[in-house]
Structure 1
Amino acid sequence: MSDAALPAAPVSARRDCPLRRLLPKGLLGRAVLIILVPLLVVQTVALTAFYGGHLDVISRRLSSSLAGEIGMVAQLLNRTPEEAHPVILREATWRLGMSAAFEPGARLGAVPQRPAWNSLLPLEEDLHDALSRLVALPFDADWQSDPQNIVVRVQLPGGVLYVEAPRKRLFSATLYWFMIWLVGSAVVFAVIAVLFMRIQVRAIRRLAMAADSFGQGRDIGPIKPEGAAEVRQAAIAFNSMRDNVRRFVAQRTDMLAGISHDLRTPLTRMRLTLAMLPPTPELREDVDGLVHDTEEMERLVEAYLAFARGESLEKPVETDLVPMLRDLAESARRSGGQLSTELPEALRLPLREGAVRRAVGNLLDNARRHASIVRLSAQADEHWAEILVDDDGPGIPEAERERAFKPFASGSATGTGLGLAIARDVVRGHGGDILLEASPMGGLRARVRLPI
């Protein structure tokens, strides 16, 4: 089968790789991992190569040196007359750095053979092999009696040679100092790297928090550029973007306020002109039509200004949402709507109160115009507060719900088509969103989600 005929691995399988789930999700964790993994690999290779090779060579050489000295003393005792033995033992003790004694006529007894499965320590293994090779006589090595020395007993034809050699002769302390330096330096470098990366990541986190707050309408002011050059450049770019957005919103609001002022002047003159026309029967129908058109133009201007004010620079303030919702419910009832409420005792979160009041008011007005019964409720969890507006009206088909949010897209003869657009604009300015769903009451449900 050709490669082209082989089925490609599904994307979900590649995304669900077990190794990917084990990797840290944050930048700090991944950066530390990038630093520590090569460091640990290098340290592991160095320790393995050094202690697996160099230490092994040194251990064998030191064991061979001690075994050769014991073998030399044993051969001298075996080949010289008994009168020379004290001199040999004294010279061995003084010049070779080990205590040597000879017991004439003594016997070791049967020296047991070491089984193949016996696992000695590396030093014991090396010394045993060296004694077997260089002494070539029955022997026994005692590692347990003295924690500072090794007792080696060698069977000679005329007796037993006892040798006590310091354990430090079989290893070099510099090897352990090297290991301490290797591991200690790795720990110090790792700590320095982690502290440095935390400083860099802290600057990125501040930038992310500032961008998130600005996106939710909570302007915390410009952030201080800090960290690496790229992070400083991103902070400077964010401050510039923030100023440009604020400038654009202010210019748009000022422009629409000017347009409103300019439009209201001719509209006022038109209304005065229509009011001063003689109330003759032949003009009444035309005058009534012009009055209706003038009032519709005024509503359009007010709705357009309200849409622009949805992105105004009103500062978010910690606010209790429940009293605001109760006031809006009372206003809807006074306007002739049948409305019930299910509200908690209190629900505090940062809000631009005027904008949120306008957004929820628009949702209640839309529900009241198209339904006979409306229900307003609110709930919250650890991260989000939700406002639910349910009605028993005709609702909106699912395919048309997104289009209903577009300005001037309403098919209603009594509205301007800006209510839902204004509401979504305000809620998204707080970092939330509005969803249109099927209501349990049979009509439409508007779900407002606001971050706490």
Structure 2
Amino acid sequence: MSRALLRRLLPRTLLARNIALLIVLVMLSQVCALGVLLHYVQRPRVERAAAVFATYVTTLDSLLASTPPGARANLTARLDARAQLPAEALKTPAPNLWRAYRTYQRRVFIDSLREHLPADMLTQWQTESGQRLWIRMHAPPDAPQAPYWIAMPIPEDAQGNGLEAAIFLSLGLAALAALAGYAIQLHLNEPLEELTRAARRVSAGETPAPLPTDGPTEIAAVSRAFNQMTHALQEADATRALMLAGISHDIRTPLTKLRLSMAMAMPDGSDSSFVVAAESYLDQIESILQQFMDYAGSGAREAAQPGDLNALIERLAGDFAGLGHEFELSLAKLPALAYRPISMMRLLMNLMQNAIVYGGTGLAVRTWASGDAVTIAVCDRGTGLSVQELEQLKAPFQRGRNARSHSGGTGLGLSIVDRIARLHGGSMQFHAREGGGLEVWVVLPVRSA
């Protein structure tokens, strides 16, 4: 429970965590330094000042007691002696966080002073209308009923003005250290952010530029490892594409010869049902080969360029209408968007073909823009797979239970759509259609290229 609470309280980013840790460490060091300064340096200094001050007070008290009455009257007048404390000396200062150190030092001074003075010599610290310390002197022998109060100047060591400035300077240095740590962490975060952007480009099927390796040793090692990984992925991708292209070429060549041989071997006027069936099987093989090639390529090497998505959708819908499949279009005005034309056409064709094959009715395509994204929705009224089952079909070679009656598929259609969407920085989503059916959304960021 405590670990879960700690995880919720901790900042999410490494930068924020490091800054918080640095601030806590600086604060702890300052608190420890302040505690050592107060207990081992300033407190003994204030206590010594109180002991010396007590000596002055007792000496003055003895002097007044031994002074003749006539001379004593003139002396007490010059010292502004009073029978009662003034009203401003009786006021207790309000608590003040900024004056907390002065309050602490005053308390230490008063406590130490009372230890060195007789118990019947009372003290009162005046903070209003100037800082003064009132001491109640002993009554003279010739007038035991009339003790009086005398205001004494407060020693400099008991006021602590210099140390207060030092504390503020220390806090300023602590803030400067925290800012320096923040700047250092920002400097370290720059290569990490570059690595994050490069990794996202790799996951989208792009080829990022090599990361710089001239930074700190640890960051440079990570950058070199990432560059090696990227190079290995490029080589693997090139090898895969070359292998698939070779397989496609080597298989299509005998397929073409087989078509030609069948056409030449069948005499005119003979039953062509066998030729038609064979041609159908050959077409299925060609379609499967093309799907493998589409999945291998997915437009990673195709350059993005500005285009009108609505115009591309209208053109494809017209082509399907010519084949007897009408799509209802609801196309909103879209912002300018850069996309790979061939890859986007392949994405839309796969989705619209799936809607025809597995949905059959209620075919529709909608587009809209919201915030910084554009959404394309291909809809149907089919009653096949659920949204949860369709999420599993994003993986290659996965076919749904409703595809068993349809031949010629490889389970790559939705994988191709998902890969092309991610190549554009977007995503493919499945949503239940209002009134029944399915909607497949392709969400593309406007800033994608």
Aligned to 1:191: 179
Aligned to 2:324: 336
User: Does the C-alpha gap of structure 1 residues 354 and 64 become closer, same or farther in structure 2, counting only changes over 3 Å?
Assistant: same
Aligned to 2:20: 33
**Structure 1 residue 231 corresponds to structure 2 residue 212:** no
Query: Which residue of 284, 299, 318 maps to 1:296?
Result: 284
Aligned to 2:375: 386
- Say if 2:91 and 2:128, in contact at 8 Å, map to a contact too: no
User: Does the C-alpha gap of structure 1 residues 339 and 199 become closer, same or farther in structure 2, counting only changes over 3 Å?
Assistant: same
Aligned residues: 425
Q: Which amino acid aligns with 1:296?
A: Q
**Structure 1 residue 419 corresponds to structure 2 residue 408:** no
User: How far has the Cα of 1:343 moved from its partner?
Assistant: 1.8
Query: Which residue of 92, 100, 103 maps to 2:77?
Result: 103
Query: Which residue of 373, 381, 384 maps to 1:395?
Result: 384
Aligned to 2:60: 73
Aligned to 2:99: none
User: How far has the Cα of 1:374 moved from its partner?
Assistant: 0.7
User: Does the C-alpha gap of structure 1 residues 336 and 202 become closer, same or farther in structure 2, counting only changes over 3 Å?
Assistant: same
Aligned to 1:407: 397
1:83-232 residue pairs with structure 2 within 5 A?
101-103=75-77, 108-110=82-84, 121-122=103-104, 125=107, 128=110, 130=113, 133-134=116-117, 143=126, 147=130, 154=137, 157=140, 164-165=152-153, 167-171=155-159, 175-176=163-164, 178-225=166-213, 227-232=215-220
RMSD: 4.0
- Tell me the SS of whatever aligns to 1:393: coil
- Say if 1:317 and 1:353, in contact at 8 Å, map to a contact too: yes
- Tell me the SS of whatever aligns to 1:103: helix
- Say if 1:338 and 1:372, in contact at 8 Å, map to a contact too: no
User: How far has the Cα of 1:189 moved from its partner?
Assistant: 1.9
User: Does the C-alpha gap of structure 1 residues 237 and 48 become closer, same or farther in structure 2, counting only changes over 3 Å?
Assistant: same
- Say if 1:149 and 1:167, in contact at 8 Å, map to a contact too: no
- Say if 1:408 and 1:416, in contact at 8 Å, map to a contact too: no
Query: Which residue of 32, 37, 58 maps to 1:45?
Result: 32
Aligned to 1:91: none
Query: Which residue of 436, 444, 447 maps to 2:441?
Result: 447
- The runs of 5 or more residues in structure 1 that have no matched partner are 1-8, 86-99
User: Does the C-alpha gap of structure 1 residues 41 and 318 become closer, same or farther in structure 2, counting only changes over 3 Å?
Assistant: farther
- Tell me the SS of whatever aligns to 1:390: strand
User: Does the C-alpha gap of structure 1 residues 63 and 441 become closer, same or farther in structure 2, counting only changes over 3 Å?
Assistant: same
Q: Which amino acid aligns with 1:310?
A: S
Between 1:137-146 and 1:264-273, the stretch displaced more is 137-146
Provide the rounded CA distance (Å) in 2 between the counterparts of 1:182 and 1:45. 12
User: Does the C-alpha gap of structure 1 residues 74 and 216 become closer, same or farther in structure 2, counting only changes over 3 Å?
Assistant: same
- The runs of 5 or more residues in structure 2 that have no matched partner are 95-102
- Tell me the SS of whatever aligns to 2:301: coil
- Say if 1:317 and 1:350, in contact at 8 Å, map to a contact too: yes
Could you tell me the percent identity over the aligned residues? 25
User: Does the C-alpha gap of structure 1 residues 426 and 118 become closer, same or farther in structure 2, counting only changes over 3 Å?
Assistant: closer
- Say if 2:84 and 2:149, in contact at 8 Å, map to a contact too: no
User: How far has the Cα of 1:423 moved from its partner?
Assistant: 2.0
Aligned to 2:46: 59
- Tell me the SS of whatever aligns to 1:305: helix
Cα offsets for 1:284-324 (capped at 9, x unmatched): 34333333333333333333322322153223445443332
Q: Which amino acid aligns with 1:183?
A: L
TM-score, length basis structure 1: 0.78
Between 1:234-243 and 1:297-306, the stretch displaced more is 297-306
Query: Which residue of 280, 287, 291 maps to 2:275?
Result: 287
User: How far has the Cα of 1:111 moved from its partner?
Assistant: 5.7
- Tell me the SS of whatever aligns to 2:439: strand
- Tell me the SS of whatever aligns to 1:108: coil
- Say if 1:376 and 1:387, in contact at 8 Å, map to a contact too: yes
Cα offsets for 1:222-273 (capped at 9, x unmatched): 2223654332222222222222222222222233223333333222222222
Provide the rounded CA distance (Å) in 2 between the counterparts of 1:363 and 1:53. 79
Aligned to 1:89: none
User: How far has the Cα of 1:195 moved from its partner?
Assistant: 1.0
Between 1:274-283 and 1:351-360, the stretch displaced more is 274-283
TM-score, length basis structure 2: 0.78
Query: Which residue of 275, 278, 284 maps to 2:263?
Result: 275
Provide the rounded CA distance (Å) in 2 between the counterparts of 1:155 and 1:259. 116
